[in-house]
Amino acid sequence: MPEPSTPASSLSAVTPAARPAPLRGDLARRRALFGLLVSLVALPASWLLFSQLDHLWPEIVRMEGATFMAAATLLGAAMAVGPLAAAVGLLLAIWFGVDSVYRPRRKSSPALDRVIVGAGLVVWFAPALAALFMVVQALASGRIHFVRPPRDYFLATDPIAYWQGVGFWLIMGGLFAFLAWRYWRPKLLPRSAAAD
């Protein structure tokens, strides 16, 4: 007796439909979202931990021996990892977010793309702008300040060291701006970058 043939519709119900492979832009957008979620979880958790430190530390100090060592180590690790995870998550979110804008994706989102590119430009050019701010502040006040080691150089009393400090910030600002421009030029001006 011949076996009954199975209809094609029942076969398709049994076997799952093959999903199309995600595009590179979609993968980058998912990674950016994950980095943003890590940052959004780690930042308030770190703030909460640091704000409650004056209550937590006396409780840990009362402990003894291995319990004290374990609790102090755990607290120190959380204090170190939390802010680092928030910062790295934000940077990865911006990095992969910008990458997702310039890669093929299944769905377009022009408004979100503009926000991501704007945030990326601010983050990439912020060190150069900070160095420029230091130079403008030094020229306006006649004093340049360095944090480590803590030193102040005044134009009136030590002009050579003052101008060396201004030159240092100009060089650093130029270096930061050059690196940011090298990253952004192929994205913002693809024809000009391809011509080189």
Q: What is the 3-state secondary structure (H, E, C) of the chain?
A: CCCCCCCHHHHHHHCCCCCCCCCHHHHHHHHHHHHHHHHHHHHHHHHHHHHCHHHHHHHHHCCCHHHHHHHHHHHHHHHHHHHHHHHHHHHHHHHHHHHHHCCCCCCCCHHHHHHHHHHHHHHHHHHHHHHHHHHHHHHHHCEEEECCCCEEEECCCCHHHHHHHHHHHHHHHHHHHHHHHHHHHHHHCHHHHHHC
Q: What is the pTM assigned to this prediction?
A: 0.74
The vertex-169 CA angle with 166 and 172, nearest 5°, equals: 150
100 has a pLDDT exceeding 90: yes
Phi, psi dihedral angles at 108 (to 5 degrees): -95, 150
96 has a pLDDT exceeding 70: yes
Q: Do the beta carbons of residue 35 and residue 90 sit within 8 Å?
A: yes
- What does the longest C-alpha to C-alpha distance in the chain come to? 109
Mean pLDDT of 47-58: 93
- What's residue 196's pLDDT? 67
- Mind listing the pLDDT tens digit for each residue in 132-163? 999 999 999 999 988 888 888 999 999 999 99
- What's residue 28's pLDDT? 95
Q: Which of 38, 30, 188 has its CA nearest to residue 107? A: 30
- Mind listing the pLDDT tens digit for each residue in 11-49? 555 556 667 778 899 999 999 999 999 999 999 999 999
What does the alpha-carbon distance between residue 182 and residue 173 come to, in Å, rounded to a whole number?
14
Q: Do the beta carbons of residue 96 and residue 35 sit within 8 Å?
A: yes
